[in-house]
Structure formats: structure tokens, C-alpha cells
Structure 1
Amino acid sequence: MPELLYAGFDTLEVSFQGALKSESLEILRNAKDEAAKTREDQLIEIGPGKVDGHVPAHGMTGGYAFVFDTGFMGEQWTFMDSEDTSRWNIAVKVRAANLAAHSYQEIKERIQQRSADMGCIVLQESIRRADFAMDFLMPEGFELNQDQVVAHSHSKVSSHWGEKGAVSEKQYHPSTVFRGRKLESITIGKMPGRQVIIYNKRKAAIEKQTPFWFKVWNIAPKDTTKHVWRVEFRAGKKELKEKYNLRSFRDFEDSIGDVFVNTAEKVRYIDDGQVVSNVSRTLPHPLWIAVKTTLEHNLLEYRSGLLPGQLKEVLRKQQEDIYWQQIQGNVAGLAVVKALSDQEMKTNYARKVSTNLERLINVEGGRFWESYNRARSRLYFLE
């Protein structure tokens, strides 16, 4: 049987009717201009609470002129260049690591506190997207099969994906991702409506360089005997607002469980070896039984159990490993360029490299310190 390793919100996006004050908007304008000149994100602080964040040279689609990123354990805020509080000038997307380390209530409080610290004038909020993820340790030999995905309907269906001839049929048609001969991902649905994704999360964590997930699962990254698959439910603004009339934090807290429970009834993963002639008579796969059991609990209470400091340490170690790999590669490449023999490298090469580095470090205001200051700004949230 599948073993639940983690369950929790993986994405939370909220829009706010309101605006930033003029002084903060001016700071953002200047930072964006400087980022364009230097081609580097600018580290600034805004608001009475002196909130730190990086500002890139670009904005975001939807009319948002400014991006303000509070780090891998924070959020990505976007702002329109307007002080008109009748408009929806503010939006926030919470980072996955932040959601893994905190419960929903803690996240909501952090968003509200951050907004106040930045000096935002907020009149009301609107939830525009929520993703809920469940990671399962699957038995040896589990393989994904697109023929076992069905879209449930009250009427008899002739395909696995929806009602015959229905306008919405395409939204149930799965898109698939193969690697070699193994299916790694199935996606059913389309955003900003509803979407269900089943995929190999272990491989995704390695490829996307998000090693903190292994800490969450309590699995060694090099342990290839552990197979972690994620089932992710996504609800966009059409699903939340048009179908469920779910807008505010209160609406979200009252109804988000129903949104995903209903989705798990309409989109299903059935057990092996069944002929789908009548969807209502198919047996669910053990994975889907585990999914529905997880969704029956209070989704707002799920969390990874890890502290933010633990996740930060994992990411700090990852960055350290990356730099050491780069150092080793550069030092090896330099030895080749200098045509050093094996014996020369083993005798005094390390000492010469060390001496040169020491000389660079001791030059006040030199290129080493310029690089150091840029790195310190870039890696500010790891400090």
C-alpha cells in the first residue's frame, strides 16, 4: 500500500485590492532601473517594517510593474505602479519551501504581517490559485498507466476522459511525459480551471534541485530503492471563483476541502486490469484510496513537521556543494591550461592557488570583494 510521506499546500496565490504607498513605489522604480543597468537583482527594503527583498529588472504579466522577492522561505510579491486603492494592485505567490515549513494558518498570518510591514493599504483579498500536494512512497514495481485515468461523470461515458461530445471533453484528456519506456507524468485538466497531476516527484526534486524534499520525506537522495510519487490537485481562479464562489481567506478555509474532494471523485486513477465500460463500477487504485483518505482530513492542518532552519540548512549545504564543484572544476581547468604535470600538481600547485587567493583577498576593494558583495546580496536569504 502507498505510504503518505507528505501532504500540504504547494502553491498559494492571492490578489489584494489596494496599493503600496508612494514612497515604496518610488524605491521599487529606482531598484528596477538599477537592476536593468547592472543586470543584477537589487536587494532593497521597503515599508515601515523594513522588509527585505530582491527586485529584478522585469515585471510580471497582468500589468504588474514590479516584482519583490522575499527569498526561498518567503514569497514573491508583485505590484502595479499605481496608488489607486480601488484597483487590485497587489498579488503574492508563496514559495513551496515556505508552505512546506508552515501550516496554512501560519502562512496566512505571515502574508498579512508582511503586507502590513511593507505599508500596503489592503481593502480585500481574493484567492486566485491553490495547489494541494500529496507525496506517497510507492511499492516496488509501481508504474504509471494513462489507461487507468478516468474522468467520472453522472452519465455513461465512452472514453476515459469525459462525456462523449461534451464541450468540456478536452479538459479531461491527459497529457503525458515519457522517459525511455516509462511514463513519468500524467496531467488532466487545464489551468486556470482545475488540474490533476500524477508524477515522479523523486526525479523532479533532483532535476529541479530542490533537495529539501528529501529532508521532508526523511529519505536519502542517493537511495534509489525509494520511489516517491506525487498527486497534485490544482485549483485556479475559474474553479475557485466561478464554480465555488470562493474568494476570501474565510471562503477558502470553509470550502477548499470540498473543492479537492469533489475533484478526486470526478478524476480518478483506477486499479490495474479493469475494462472501463462503466466508470461507476471501477475499483480505485490503492494510490487513489490513499489520496481520498488524505483529502478527508482537514487540509489546513497539514505540514511537513520541519522547521524553517532545517530547510535553510539543506539549501545552504546544496549551495556550498555547487561552489566546491565549481572551484574544483576551475582549478583543474587552470592546471590543464598551465600544462602542469601530475607531479607539479601534487607538489606545489595547491599552495600556489592558495597564495594567489590570499593575495586577491588582501586587496582592499579589489575584484574579489566586488564578487563577494554581489554574492552576499544574491544569497542574502541564506544568511
Structure 2
Amino acid sequence: MERAKEEAQKARQRTFLEWNGIGMAVFESGSKGGYAFKVTTGEFGATWFFKKPNPKDPWGIRVSSNSFFLAINGFEGARSKIYETMAALEITLLPTAESISRVDYAIDFLAPDFTLTPEHFVMHSNARRADHIEKIDMAVNGRSGRATSVTIGTMPGRQVIVYDKRAEIIAKKKVGWWEIWDAPRLEGGLPALERDAPEKCSIWRVELRAGKKHLKERSGVTTWTDLDDRFGDVVAATLDAIRYASPNADSNRSRWPDSALWTEVKHQTQDDLFEMHSTADPDLVRYVQKEAHDRLLAGQMAGLLTSRAALHGIDDAHLAEFAALIGEQMAQQIEDDPERFFQKLHKAADRFRLG
């Protein structure tokens, strides 16, 4: 990891490292808290943080699971894979050598008619709310803006976030979520979501977060066993303390009833919280993500090509001819300096090996 980190710093990009069959990308820097190394096992894996060995510090490793990793494997599957990775890296753990520092629990709802209204949240007076407003075209929607995310609370305490998940996956190119959402629909005989019709497939995520302070000081959650036994109570208490309500004529907001959304959230969290996972084909989700990235790169190449054509004064009739010429020039550059391009190819290949 030390050598890979040095290489990453020289190259100013993550360096691929494989150890005992575990592939990882090593970042240029570590992380706060004394973690000298930060690595990722990919978009469908986890982010790992390692300290240099120190007998006086028993907490040498931190791991954070990525959302695709959890969605596809489920909680138990993700936890098992984390331990499999540590075993492959020859990391020996003592019994109850874990400390749970944060848990995020999310549920996605197909809610085309839902409008997020910050004023409809009812919470304790000591809870803080952060509103994120997305400005949109008034001509299209008839108003100057809409709330796309409301965050209540601060970490490392507890937080409740309601946000437009459809907008987020489009903005961040996380198109694999379409396959995850479609899988149970197709199994149940329902049609796939109409991805290009936001008025029909608006997806809202309700996310509950419990940080280290809240887990340990308020709920006594430290180990996996504690989490299994008490997380349901943590979620129930959070949903009672912070609610999305349905306003009525009562001037006392605390007496407003739960909205239909909050009632459904409470219903969905009554059962075993750790059993849910996606039935989507993991290989298909990976393929969709890869294809999306390929389309992005292709679009960037086309944009650069047309920009160069404009710079050289190429007209419409000769654009295709110019594109062929650029291709020949690129091929010649590779033949003139193959070693340089082979190195670039290998570095790029390393970046995609974890997909």
C-alpha cells in the first residue's frame, strides 16, 4: 500500500493494487483519524481505511460499504463479504473486535404525485433542518424552484433525509439503480419504469442515519449483536421524533397526523430491517453502469472532435472526413510512441478492473 500510494501521488490518480486475489485502488492520500491509506474495492464494493500497525491502537481499520454493494448483497451478504475480504488480506480479528460507527437505512418510493414541502416536517425543537432547493425553469413548472432534499439533524447524531433519488442517479450517472428498481416490478408482473417520464416515475428516498454518538450514547449500540438487537428501536424512535406530517387546521403542529409517506415508511420498517436486498442480477447492474460510462466517454470524444473541427474551420460537408483524419493521426501517434500509450492504456485498464 505504501508503494501504491507513492505511485498514486506521482501519477495524481489512484493506483491499482492486487493482494491475495483482492483488487483495490489506492488513493493518493489517507484520511483523517490517523488512517494512512484509503482504498476502494470498486463501485460494487467498499471503501477501506487502514492505519499503519500500532500495538497501542487497536482500531486499525475502518470500512464503509457502497450503496450498490449493500443493495445487491443485502446487509448479511455485505457483512460476510467484508469479513471474506479481511480474511483474504490475512487480517486476524479478535471476538467482538468491531465498533459500529454509522448506519444508514434507506427506502425508495415510487411517488409521482409527491411534492416535498419542508414546512410539513414536525420535529423536536433541538433538531436542525437544512433545505436544498433546486432552481428549475419557471416556464416549465410554473414556479421558480422546488425542494429536492430536506435534511434534519446532524452527524454524528441522527439524521433524516428525504430527497429526489431519481434526479440524483441521473446527475451522478448511477443508472444501475434503474435495474434495481425494475427487478421486483418485473417479478410481480408490473412494467418497467418509464425512465424518461419523470411525471410517471418520480422516485423519492427516505434515508435514516444514525451516527456514532447516537448509536453508542443514546442506544448502546457498539457491536454487531447490539445492532441486530436494537436497530429496530433506533429506527422507530427516529420516525417518531422526526415526522413528515399532513397539515390540518390544528395550530399545534405536533398534533398533525403522519402523512401517507410516513405511514408507509413506518410500515416498511416494522419487519426485520436486515433482510431486504435487491433481486436484480448483479452482472446486469454492472453492465448497465459500464455501458453508461462508455456512452459518457463517447459523447466527450464526439464533443472534442467537433470542437477541433470548428477550431480548424471545417464545414458540415467535410466533418466526417475530418473525423477520419483525426483517427489516422491518433493511430500514427500510437505507432510513433507505443510505450507511452501502452502505459496510459494499462493505467486506464486498472481503473476499470474494479467495476
User: In structure 2, what is the Cα distance between the partners aligned to 1:99 and 1:363?
Assistant: 46
Q: TM-score scaled to structure 2, two decimals?
A: 0.88
- Correspondences of 1:218-233 after superposition (within 5 Å): 218=182, 219-225=193-199, 226-233=201-208
Does the residue aligned with 2:59 lie in a helix, a strand or coil? Answer: coil
User: In structure 1, what is the Cα distance between the partners aligned to 2:335 and 2:291?
Assistant: 27
Gapped runs of 5+ residues in structure 2?
136-144, 183-192
Aligned to 1:183: 147
Residue 249 (structure 1) aligned to one of 198, 218, 224: 224
User: In structure 1, what is the Cα distance between the partners aligned to 2:92 and 2:54?
Assistant: 9
Q: TM-score scaled to structure 1, two decimals?
A: 0.82
Cα 1:248–1:367, aligned 2, differ >3 Å: closer, same or farther? same
Aligned to 1:342: 316
| Corresponding position: 1:107 with 2:83 | no
Does the residue aligned with 1:256 lie in a helix, a strand or coil? Answer: helix
- Correspondences of 1:1-383 after superposition (within 5 Å): 28-46=1-19, 49-84=20-55, 87-123=58-94, 124-140=97-113, 142-151=114-123, 161-162=124-125, 169=126, 172-180=127-135, 181-218=145-182, 219-225=193-199, 226-277=201-252, 279=254, 281-346=255-320, 348-362=321-335, 365-382=338-355
Instruction: Report the more deviating stretch, 357-366 or 335-344.
Output: 357-366
CA contact (8 A) 2:247 2:256 kept: no
User: In structure 2, what is the Cα distance between the partners aligned to 1:112 and 1:350?
Assistant: 50
Alpha-carbon displacement from aligned partner over 1:230-253 (angstroms, at most 9, x marks no partner): 111000111111111111112211
Aligned-partner residue type, residue 63 of structure 1: G
CA contact (8 A) 1:214 1:220 kept: no
Aligned-partner residue type, residue 203 of structure 2: V
Aligned-partner residue type, residue 131 of structure 1: D
CA contact (8 A) 1:66 1:78 kept: yes
CA contact (8 A) 1:175 1:188 kept: yes
User: In structure 2, what is the Cα distance between the partners aligned to 1:195 and 1:342?
Assistant: 55
Alpha-carbon displacement from aligned partner over 1:289-332 (angstroms, at most 9, x marks no partner): 11000110111111121132122111101110111011101211
Instruction: After TM superposition, give the deviation of residue 274 of structure 1 in Å.
Output: 4.4
Aligned-partner residue type, residue 150 of structure 1: V
Aligned-partner residue type, residue 240 of structure 2: E
Alpha-carbon displacement from aligned partner over 1:66-98 (angstroms, at most 9, x marks no partner): 112111111111011124275201110011110
CA contact (8 A) 2:112 2:198 kept: no
Does the residue aligned with 2:204 lie in a helix, a strand or coil? Answer: strand
Aligned to 1:22: none
Aligned-partner residue type, residue 117 of structure 2: N
CA contact (8 A) 2:176 2:289 kept: yes
CA contact (8 A) 2:128 2:154 kept: no
Instruction: Report the more deviating stretch, 89-98 or 325-334.
Output: 325-334
User: In structure 2, what is the Cα distance between the partners aligned to 1:240 and 1:255?
Assistant: 10
Cα 1:71–1:139, aligned 2, differ >3 Å: closer, same or farther? closer
Does the residue aligned with 1:44 lie in a helix, a strand or coil? Answer: strand
CA contact (8 A) 1:98 1:308 kept: no
Q: Which runs of 4+ in 1 moved over 6 A?
A: none
Aligned-partner residue type, residue 273 of structure 1: N
Gapped runs of 5+ residues in structure 1?
1-27, 152-160, 163-168
- Percent identity reads 29
Does the residue aligned with 2:151 lie in a helix, a strand or coil? Answer: strand
Does the residue aligned with 1:224 lie in a helix, a strand or coil? Answer: coil
Instruction: After TM superposition, give the deviation of residue 258 of structure 1 in Å.
Output: 1.5
Q: What's the Cα RMSD here? A: 1.8
CA contact (8 A) 2:47 2:66 kept: yes
Aligned to 2:139: none
Does the residue aligned with 1:125 lie in a helix, a strand or coil? Answer: coil
More strand by share: 1
Cα 1:198–1:274, aligned 2, differ >3 Å: closer, same or farther? farther
Aligned-partner residue type, residue 340 of structure 1: I
Instruction: After TM superposition, give the deviation of residue 174 of structure 1 in Å.
Output: 1.4
Instruction: After TM superposition, give the deviation of residue 183 of structure 1 in Å.
Output: 1.6
Aligned residues: 333
Instruction: After TM superposition, give the deviation of residue 139 of structure 1 in Å.
Output: 3.8
Does the residue aligned with 1:135 lie in a helix, a strand or coil? Answer: strand
User: In structure 2, what is the Cα distance between the partners aligned to 1:374 and 1:271?
Assistant: 54
CA contact (8 A) 1:59 1:65 kept: yes
Alpha-carbon displacement from aligned partner over 1:100-123 (angstroms, at most 9, x marks no partner): 111111111101110111111222
Instruction: Report the more deviating stretch, 323-332 or 352-361.
Output: 352-361
Does the residue aligned with 2:327 lie in a helix, a strand or coil? Answer: helix
